[in-house]
Amino acid sequence: QKEVEQNSGPLSVPEGAIASLNCTYSDRGSQSFFWYRQYSGKSPELIMFIYSNGDKEDGRFTAQLNKASQYVSLLIRDSQPSDSATYLCAVRNTGRRALTFGSGTRLQVQP
């Protein structure tokens, strides 16, 4: 069983719609959760992190964490073609001095 799972996609949404990206994790003791955006040929860029259950909003982005169900999601409101990228979920597990990355979800925003 993979420690951090994401649907590889592609997830295709029309411009202006809400894109919903999901991530599940297996380590119940996981403490911190990160979302990275990676454009093709570029390096990952940190866009959100969340530590507590509930929602955290930053501009058009909202991260949602549900520790009981062991999932974290990223909502992108008013999606733009420039949001088309791969979104990586990363989790800080107990006892490991590195983040564990999911395999990423490719998002395509259609103009």
Partner 1 sequence: DTEVTQTPKHLVMGMTNKKSLKCEQHMGHRAMYWYKQKAKKPPELMFVYSYEKLSINESVPSRFSPECPNSSLLNLHLHALQPEDSALYLCASSIDSPGEQFFGPGTRLTVL
Q: Which residues bind partner 1 (CB under 8 A)?
A: 32, 34, 36, 42-46, 49, 88, 90, 92, 96-99, 101-104
In the numeric block, the tokens 């979920």 are attached to: 89
CB nearer to partner 1: give 71 or 101.
101
Nearest distance, CB of residue 23 and partner 1, angstroms:
12
The C-alpha atoms of residue 38 and residue 41 are separated, in whole angstroms, by: 8
Q: Quick one: 103 or 110, whose CB is closer to partner 1? A: 103
Instruction: Name the residue nearer to partner 1 (CB basis): 98 or 111.
Output: 98
CA dist list (Å): 13 to 53, 77, 82? 27, 11, 12
